[in-house]
Chains A and B, each alone.
Chain A
Amino acid sequence: MVRILLAVFLMALVSYLPRVLPLAFLRQKVDSPFFQSFLYYVPYAVLGAMTFPAILYATGDIGSALVGFGVALLLAFYEKGLITVALFAAFAVYLFQYFLG
């Protein structure tokens, strides 16, 4: 048990350090346009990389995941809210799996 708690502590430490070091100690703004552009694009790139292709494996079968993916894309395109998009995508997956799975 002590070993497990130690592992949890170490995991917490290496989860926190990359988050806190730049935020706490890099006070000055970055001037380079290259680096500024790089950082500006980070959130979009992270979200894209996290979503696809992981979304295809999020529901247990690719068919229902594609349906949920399509519903989410469509609703997001019409700029519906985050909760609306999330719940309708889940509902579409559920219906697909219920009737066709």
Chain B
Amino acid sequence: MHIPFLSRRIATADPRRQDFFLGLRDGFPIALGYVPVSFAFGLLAVRGGLPPWIATLISLTNLTSAGQFAGTNLILAGASLLEITFTTFLINLRYLLMSLSLGQKLAPDLTLGQRCLMAFGITDETFAVASVERSEITFLYMLGLIVGPYLGWGTGTLLGGIVCTFLPASLQKALGITLYAMFIAIVVPPAKKSRTISIIIAVAVGVSSALTWLPGLRLLSEGWRITIATVVACLFGATFFPRKEVK
């Protein structure tokens, strides 16, 4: 079940093991992109007064950027547990959509345990890569895909927490762009091939820009901006460009 122009096959005897390594390969750039972001998270959390191990624990149990940044900020600000939980939940609501979308592409033979384990590794990036690169998602592919980013996210946080201010600011700033550059590398090739996908992306970008810059709407958190822009763009796409026959 490979998309021919996107997947380079790795020659191994066992096709199931091959899936794991394909996942590892696809996850590597995500892991690399996560290090500077989680590094910054570790830095901010420890600067704010949390010990490095708590910062790392947050990364290893939450595995989400916007949600844990917001939650940690609220912890540092001394907010109530209810406020912390509710805000984090709102920001993470978008995972409902991703999990739902990914569920449509799962290989049919997955057990409940496998599904529960895979679900933990759904992030904006692993979701995007898995759903764009694969037409059917197997357990071993997803496992391979998750391992690198998970370790990258945890390691980056720990390093950021320990090193705190060691990295020169200029380098930190330059690395801030890597994650977004990666997103661009993911969406541009399919957008080149499909006018519809280009339009969907344009709508999403337009809405998220409007929510960022228009007066009054600026108060929305980043998680809400992404959620609203996604829903609007996908409703638009499903209404005006319904796909004829989706397997």
Which residues from chain A sit less than 8 Å from chain B, CB to CB? 3-24, 26, 29-30, 33-55, 58-60, 64-65, 68-69, 71-73, 75-77, 79-91, 93-94, 97-98, 101
Q: Which of the residues A11, A47, A84 comes within 8 Å of B201, measured between beta carbons? A: A47
Are the C-beta atoms of B178 and A89 separated by less than 8 Å?
A: yes
Q: For window 154-177 of chain B, which residues contact chain A by CB distance below 8 Å?
A: 170-171, 173-177
Q: Which of the residues B180, B233, B241 comes within 8 Å of A45, measured between beta carbons? A: B233
| B102 nearest CB across to chain A (Å) | 6
Are the C-beta atoms of A11 and B188 separated by less than 8 Å?
A: no
B contacts with A, residue count (CB < 8 A): 98
- Chain A residues, CB < 8 A from B13: none
- Chain B residues, CB < 8 A from A14: 67, 85, 88-89, 92
Nearest residue in A to B74 (C-beta to C-beta)? Answer: A7
Are the C-beta atoms of A48 and B181 separated by less than 8 Å?
A: no
Q: Which of the residues B106, B116, B177, B208 comes within 8 Å of A20, measured between beta carbons? A: B116
- Complex alpha-carbon distance, A28 and B162, angstroms: 46
Are the C-beta atoms of A47 and B186 separated by less than 8 Å?
A: yes
Are the C-beta atoms of A89 and B181 separated by less than 8 Å?
A: yes
- Chain B residues, CB < 8 A from A55: 177, 180
Which residues from chain B sit less than 8 Å from chain A, CB to CB? 28-29, 32-33, 50, 54, 57-58, 61-64, 67-68, 71, 74-75, 81, 84-85, 88-89, 92-104, 106, 112, 115-116, 118-120, 122, 124, 127-128, 131-132, 170-171, 173-192, 197, 200-205, 207-209, 212-213, 222, 225-226, 229-230, 233-235, 237-239, 241-244, 246
User: Closest 9 A-B residue pairs measured CB to CB?
Assistant: A89-B181, A76-B188, A49-B229, A48-B204, A82-B29, A85-B185, A12-B61, A94-B174, A20-B119
